[in-house]
Structure 1
């Protein structure tokens, strides 16, 4: 059993050498596919992370109307807590907001010390999901004694929309690419198998089972997948580190960050090898079905 297994592997390696140009064409098809899949995956993972970071920082700030008495302020809090999709409500007095501004922007705000505080009391409202933030904001603005409710407006909407679109189209595009790759590889391998049609017929005439005939081609497809993943892996390792170094410094200033190379690169490498082996071996097996019916 073990000897047969290694014989199949050896036969698949010899077949790669015999069919040099066909092997190159198959490896090239896998390489291009995995490069595109890697780009899609990198974009999807990072946009998803950025969207999550932004979502975690997006809350609805509800400003209470000036001169609202204590009872009115308490009622606003109760009304906010009763809204759908609200997970927490925290009070922030105008003095606390001024202190936060002074802390964030430095001593220049101390020039206005002693003047009347122009800010308003507010509630910081957290929604259960990012897509429900706008619903909470719209509902909060209808509450009595609420002057304004804000969550970042168009910017947050665009981020959520882009993130959802990238996830949807990215996954869909990756699936299409994989199907195209399987089609191309199976047809490329089918051409190589057609040149060995006589060999397969002889093996069947001497009593070889379909499984015995199929295994070398299965391993051949797997080798093609592994070889096709080499260039995309190298591009991912060196390319993503360069991209991370260039863009992440600007994002950090805004309080966000891309996935670090140590987080993303191993995931992408493993996925590329697995996908490469799967599409290579699957393409090989699909191309064999017709010839094993001879």
Structure 2
């Protein structure tokens, strides 16, 4: 008996759900002008949310990649033998280098240093030729104007400036840099873009909720008498509210269609144009193969949620919570 009642209850809930679903669709058709206005409002807001969200997330990704690639280049004095285990005396005799790895050991002891890698002046010249061309190929041996360098990677990007300063003070170090003020300005700019982008996204979300709420409130006003009659005959608030919540969800979902198409086209266009150059610099945008679909799914979810919230807010005047 208990099992039968439970089955009947489940069937009733399912029927009720589809009844409310049908009512919400009828309401959308019945109030077509209001529906189109609400959908258009949601469409504009979700388009902006999608664009802002994509920019913010990729800015954060690029900033993170840049931070990981920031390293301190510690240039040694031109006559430094810190990386040589042996040295040649004036007499021509090869002896053990008493100064071997003095600078290296001092660098590894600096707080925040994760890894120290040596790069000779010849290796530096090869990299320069690859970047700048063959004009440096004649600079060999003593004619090579470059210096041996220790490449220092830090445990955190916040340690870079301090490590560079301490490394520069070590005896035998000619200079130490990490991109200096240009890098710091770039990181600060990216952080500002993220901060203001998040604020703009939050404001757009609030605007979307209010727009949907006001639009649905207009449609509800025309049905105020119907709602009051339903309450008088004993209909529960939850029963009255559900079709309107679904109506708001439909508006949110419909409003997400055009923004999703827009994001799909624009992101693939930007990704194929800019990302190859980013990759050359050791950074990259989020992969379009999955990022676009994640954003589209989020847009539909946000549209449905803010649509339902807007409807709920619009119903407060007519139903007691």
TM-score (norm 1): 0.92
Q: Contact 1:229 / 1:272 at 8 angstroms: preserved in 2? A: yes
Query: Secondary structure of 1:125's match?
Result: strand
Query: When you count helix as a share of all residues, which structure comes out higher?
Result: 1
The worse-fitting range, judged by mean Cα deviation, of 41-50 and 173-182 is 41-50
Change (3 A) 1:208 1:96: same
- CA deviation profile, 1:130-165 (whole Å, cap 9, x unmatched): 233222222222222221111122332222112211
Match of 1:169 among 176, 188, 196: 196
Residue by residue, what CA displacement relative to the aligned partner does 1:35-64 show, whole Å, maximum 9, x if unpaired?
111111111122122222222322110112
Name the counterpart of 2:314: 287
CA contact (8 A) 2:77 2:174 kept: yes
Equivalents in 1 of 2:24, 2:255: separation in Å? 16
| Contiguous gaps of at least 5 residues in structure 1 | none
How far apart, in 2, do the equivalents of 1:161 and 1:72 lie? 40
- The equivalent of 1:223 in structure 2 is 250
Runs (5+) with no aligned partner, structure 2: 1-12, 83-97
Q: Does 1:201 align with 2:213?
A: no
The reply to whether residue 184 of structure 1 matches residue 208 of structure 2 is: no
Taking the TM superposition and a 5 Å limit, the aligned residue runs for 1:131-280 are 131-280=158-307
8 Å Cα contact 2:45-2:205 kept in structure 1: yes
Q: Distance in 1 between matches of 2:245 and 2:172?
A: 71
Deviations 1:181-220 (A, max 9, x none): 1112112111211111111111111111011001101100
Which one of 138, 148, 154 corresponds to residue 121 of structure 1? 148
Matches within 5 A, 1:15-26: 15-26=27-38
In 1, Cα distance between equivalents of 2:142 and 2:125: 12
The answer (yes or no) to whether the contact 1:64–1:73 under 8 Å persists in 2 is no
Q: CA deviation at 1:114?
A: 5.0
- Between structure 1 and structure 2, the one with the greater Rg is 2
1:65 aligns with 2:77: yes
Partner of 1:96 in structure 2? 123
Corresponding residue number in structure 2 for 1:14: 26
Alpha-carbon separation, structure 1, partners of 2:170 and 2:313: 63
What is the root-mean-square deviation of aligned Cα atoms in Å? 2.1
